[in-house]
Structure 1
Amino acid sequence: MRATAVRAVPLSARSVPSRFDPAGRHRPRSRRWRVERLNRPNSLWGSNGVAFGPDGRLYVAQFLAGQISAVDPASGEITPVVPLDGPVQAPDDVAFGADGSLYIADLPPGRVWRRTPDGAYHLVSDEVTVPNGITCVGDRLFVNEMRVGGRLLELFPDGSRGPRVVAEGLAMGNAMQQGPDGLLYYPQIVTGELWRIPPDGGVPERVAADVPGAVGARFDRDGMLVGVSGGMGGVLTRIDVFGDGARRTVSTGIHGIDNAAFDMANRMYVSSYAGGGITVLAPDGGASVLVPQGLNGPFGVTADAAGTVYAADHYRVGRLADGGVDTLAVMNGAHGIASAGRLLHLASETGEVHTCDTRGGALELRASGLALPTGVAVGAGGMPVVAETGAGRVVAVDAAGGLTVLAAGLGHPVDVAFDDEARGYVSEGRRGTVLRIESGGAVTVFASGLDTPQGLVVRGGEVFVVEAGARRLTGFCLETGRRRVEAEALPVGLPPGIDRVEPDPVPGVPGRPRPFAALAVAPDGALLLSANGEGTVLRLTLR
């Protein structure tokens, strides 16, 4: 596919709202560049736990956004219920109590909340480590922990006592539900199994094994147990647990399934942590999209020699086409991305560098144990060069996984780029500078006084950098250092008026991605910008 075949969505259309701009009135400004979207803004920033509320709407926990929205199952209209700047930080699962209260598993901070029908928030517990799966049995509340050695607990919203342990030794719990037999059914992600136990405790019983990547246990209206699996295939395992035990697997093609809920007509509403959105699966096997998937950032962008655009989207690698996004591979923490022929080099917040073959999506681990790597560029010999943010250095990764330090002693390196003479440049997000990497690992200041510089590219005789704090694109002449504002009012970072601190990820504990607005150069010289404030890739072409 040639670069000109990537169809852009007109940016001037004011009827397209986004998380960054709910009214749909926002528009980047540039005298020198024409700015277009390559895909429409995202509607749900990751869709995790889902549950039908007393009002008949589907409530969707958006872990990546830090909010909860209600979706009308007939129209798909989305209404924020728990806002971005509320007390809940990163909701992962939801359940409704008998009195209509919404209970929320707030995963990274280890809190469980109750939102009463009148909109008041009450902290139920801060004694649960990595709370995830949550369910109500009448007026009783249960939650499990998404960690190895986790617990299944009963919580008491009235504060009458602390958590009661129902089961221990879970291999990462997740979405659970009471079955028709009155028992609690829950998955164990690591072992790929479904288990059950009485709400009052007892000996846990394994119900099913070989449910790969099991992230949820759900019952349909006919009493069939459905094991929900994440991953590329979106596999559902239907088990006649109260009959002959027969099981049937169905591949939905929904990448990164996280959770599901059934309506009274036995339609299954499926969420995706990887791409957001809600898909409805009918009992007869038909499928329809209630809320389309979108980008949850993106946090990295690149284009290959044919002009195909790829995005690193935290939980997946996406390929942009026809105004939408196709999932190429599912991976955890995908941030930096750079094209090298048919290969893509990827940096993950989990400290890994992968190479992905675009012909099939296979991932090859190149290096591990890095400290919060972010931006990636292609260096000499096609080697991936990574800004290792947590270690304050820039490293090259060879074919055997060995690391060569190109620069060290940096403060907060975020992205890296090379000019035509193979000189390296690195953006220092907290120091507000762009540094040039000299021979022997020395660095000199190329530009200073920048407001949170992140994405960085070299195009001909100019260096371009995204100043995320100021929401603008700035260009510099390589020869003279002359500075020019190229574009302003970019939809990067949190929406205007929202001020919260995103902590660095804690190893072993899921967290929201660190902000990173990346840049790339397309084969035709256009600039590609990851507009992580609205979930799009912007294409900037000279007027």
Structure 2
Amino acid sequence: MVNTRFPGFGTPRSERWSMSRLNRPSPLWGSNGITFGPDERLYVAQFLAGQISAVDATTGEVEVVVPADGPVQAPDDLAFGSDGSMYIADITPQRVWRRSPDGEFTLLSEEIRVPNGITCVGDRLFVNEMRPGGRVVELLPETGEVVVLADGLAMGNAMQQGPDGSLYYPHMMTGQVWRVSPDGGPAQEVADDVHEPVAVRFDHDGALVVLSRGLTGIVTRIDPDTGRRSTIETGVAGMDNAAFDRENRMLVSNYGSGGVTQVDALGTRTVVGRGLHGPFGVAADEAGRVYAGDHFRLADGDLVTGDLVQPVAGGACHGVAAGCGLVHITSMHGDVRTFDPATREVRMRVEDLAEPTGIAITEGGLLVAETGAGRVVHIDDSDAVTPIAELPHPVDVAVDDEGSHYASDDSLGAVVRIEGGSVVTVVDGLDQPQGITVHEGALYVVEVGTQRLLAVSPTTGETRTEAESLPVGLPPGIQRDDPPPTLFPPARPRPFAGLTTTPDGALLLAANGEGTVLRLTPATLTRPLREAGSAQR
């Protein structure tokens, strides 16, 4: 099994389980700002990955240019100067960087709030802010001085200089396109009632092209002289940015599911395939349909075909549980929702939890690991929240056939059972245990620190290694300390390798190191874990 997202992972192996992917690995861990570089390759900023890749637009070959272990943490847009320097809007730490042609990084500014849209005009550098009340500024690279050109932006994003010399940019919150002179003066509204604008670009004919971030992938073309509009629906949900090649073909990036797609009035062509950002939580309903929490979307698919498709509910999706025709979702931003696939309706259950992660269905409601608050809570059918246990950092929960509650804690390095408000250790000494599930009377645990799947006896704590070299977590040598989740600036999702049991006796693992869901089916008749004796590690 070949990893295409990060180097450093081995080949997953198991003597007890056969493993297969339900979807293809994702070469790009999201795709945001894109632009052609001096070498005519397409450079892609990947906010979620913390890296920048270069893509051959003809072959789709991807090469990581700015790796995830460098100084840039969350690149959202990028531009090239006349000398070949790369300028990067590092959105979450709120920094702007220059990367010289020889690869040296220089921090230019920490004074621009939520920097996103970035563009070069000759030797001049301009940045806008993706926040309510944001600004368009000129940043002087040699001194770090910030010159404000416009303010009051309703969330700016990808911008570009137009044929008239002005800088054009979207107001994402109000559906408008505005412009301002690089030399100052009043900002002017250019277009109103544009469908969910996220990026403003000009093709080589001088036409104004506005991308929508919506589900239907609308592209609006505006004649700059007459204001006449035309639109196409590309079907590319969650577009983020665009670049035009030498032949005036438009290539678009996708914040919702990554990848790069060529789009025009006749259709689309895949340059780099879309895929999963995580996945994080994973679940299967009674019919075997798979659901994966994937931050910007809830991905769903058929267990047989393994087709993981586009968004169906919510945002910041993390943990997932499915049953009785409903799908329950935790959000990194603190809410728990219930989605009905039949009606496509979403019901808000609870808000303002502290970083809820794992979720499970239990008698009379839902069990949730409220990671940020250090507790496990029960949500009943009337949406009342009751704390049932305190732990340092719980990340997942599970319920067995007798109704017993279990939780994993990655900082404690343990899996515990919750009994009447008390916490009983089932097994400790683990290295970042995350996803847990119950299968044929045993607990199964994803030990992210060792990239193993363990089976644990709930009565004795005896453990057995079920699979090794799993593509979960970050690859060797890369460490990241992400800040707590916020909306402004946007935060990356906390890594979470979910695990679940399917109705037909398989396991599903969220292989977030490569962007797949792994299905594990029994390869041999395995003996049950002993009810007594020493642990096997």
Q: Give the shorter-chain TM-score range.
A: over 0.9
2:322 aligned with 1:339, yes or no? yes
Tell me which residue corresponds to 1:52: 36
The residue that corresponds to 1:18 in the other structure is 4
**Residue in structure 2 matching 1:75, options 59, 81, 94:** 59
CA deviation profile, 1:450-486 (whole Å, cap 9, x unmatched): 1111101111210111111111111112343321111
Cα RMSD after superposing both structures: 1.6
Instruction: Tell me if the contact between 2:42 and 2:57 (Cα under 8 Å) persists in the aligned partners.
Output: yes
Partner of 1:276: 258
Structure 2 residue 280 is matched with structure 1 residue 299: yes
Structure 1 residues 149 and 400, CA gap change in structure 2 (3 angstroms):
farther
Aligned counterpart for 1:421 among listed residues 361, 377, 402: 402
Instruction: Work out whether 1:122 is the aligned partner of 2:122.
Output: no
In percent, how many aligned pairs have the same letter? 57
Q: Which of these residues, 459, 477, 480, is aligned with residue 497 of structure 1? A: 477
Aligned-residue offset at 1:297: 0.9
Q: Which amino acid aligns with 1:505?
A: P
Q: Distance in 2 between matches of 1:305 and 1:126?
A: 50
Partner of 1:260: 242
SS in 2 for 1:390: helix
The structure 1 residue matched to 2:432, chosen from 452, 456, 466, is: 452
Contact 2:334 2:353 in 1 (8 A): yes
| Pairing partner for 1:152 from 136, 148, 173 | 136
Contact 2:29 2:277 in 1 (8 A): yes
Secondary structure of the corresponding residue to residue 372 of structure 2: helix
The answer to whether the Cα contact below 8 Å between 1:453 and 1:465 also exists between their aligned partners in 2 is yes
Counting only pairs closer than 5 Å after superposition, residues 177-192 of structure 1 correspond to structure 2 as: 177-192=160-175
1:466 counterpart SS class: strand
Q: 1:447 and 1:370 mapped to 2: Cα distance?
A: 27
Instruction: Give the drift of 1:320.
Output: 3.2
Partners of 1:54 and 1:177 in 2: CA distance: 18
Q: Retained in 1: the 8 A contact 2:17–2:520? A: yes
Q: Is the 8 A contact 1:315 1:330 kept in 2?
A: no
For residues 137-536 of structure 1, what are the structure 2 equivalents within 5 Å? 137-159=121-143, 162-243=145-226, 245-282=227-264, 284-321=265-302, 322-329=305-312, 331-359=314-342, 361-381=344-364, 383-407=365-389, 409-439=390-420, 441-506=421-486, 508-536=488-516
2:94 to 110, 132, 143: 110
Contact persistence 1:19–1:495 (CA under 8 A): no
State the 1:392 CA deviation.
Answer: 1.4
Matches within 5 A, 1:126-137: 126-137=110-121
Provide the residue aligned with 2:84 in structure 1: 100
**Matched residue SS, 1:289:** strand
For residues 334 and 187 of structure 1, the distance between their equivalents in structure 2, rounded to whole angstroms, comes to 26
Q: Which one of the candidate residues 57, 61, 72 is aligned to 1:88?
A: 72
Task: Give the gaps of 5 or more residues in structure 2.
Answer: 524-537
Q: Indicate if the aligned counterparts of 1:231 and 1:330 stay in contact, CA closer than 8 A.
A: no
Instruction: Give the superposition deviation at 1:404.
Output: 2.4
Q: Supply the distance in 2 between the matched residues of 1:84 and 1:405 (Cα, whole angstroms).
A: 37
* Aligned length, in residue pairs: 521
Task: Letter of the 1:32 partner, please give it.
Answer: R
C-alpha change, 1:140 and 1:315, in structure 2 (3 Å) is same
Structure 2 SS opposite 1:326: coil
> How many Å apart are 1:193 and its aligned residue?
1.4
1:182-210 CA-partner distances (Å, limit 9, x unpaired):
11111111112111111112111111222
Residues 21 and 359 of structure 1: CA distance in aligned 2, closer, same or farther (over 3 Å): farther
Contact 1:386 1:394 in 2 (8 A): yes
Which residue type is aligned with residue 459 of structure 1?
Answer: H
Contact 2:94 2:489 in 1 (8 A): no
SS in 1 for 2:297: strand
Q: Distance in 2 between matches of 1:76 and 1:443?
A: 51
Give the structure 1 partner of residue 15 of structure 2. Answer: 31
Secondary structure of 1:315's match? coil
Cα distance in structure 2, aligned partners of 1:502 and 1:60: 21
Aligned-partner Cα distance in 2 for 1:339–1:265: 47
| Partner-residue secondary structure (3-state), 1:112 | strand
Q: Tell me, what secondary structure is at the counterpart of 2:32?
A: coil
- When residues 318 and 87 of structure 1 are mapped into structure 2, their CA distance, relative to the original with a 3 A threshold, is same
Aligned residues of 2:88 and 2:97 also touching (Cα < 8 A): yes
Quote the residue 1:3 is aligned against.
Answer: none
Moved more, 505-514 or 367-376: 505-514
Per-residue deviation, 1:330:
5.3
Residue 434 of structure 1 aligns to which amino acid in structure 2?
A: V
Give the counterpart of 2:24 among 29, 40, 50.
40
Closer, same or farther: CA 68–341 of 1 in aligned 2, 3 Å: same
Give 1:395 shift.
1.9
Aligned AA for 1:237? T
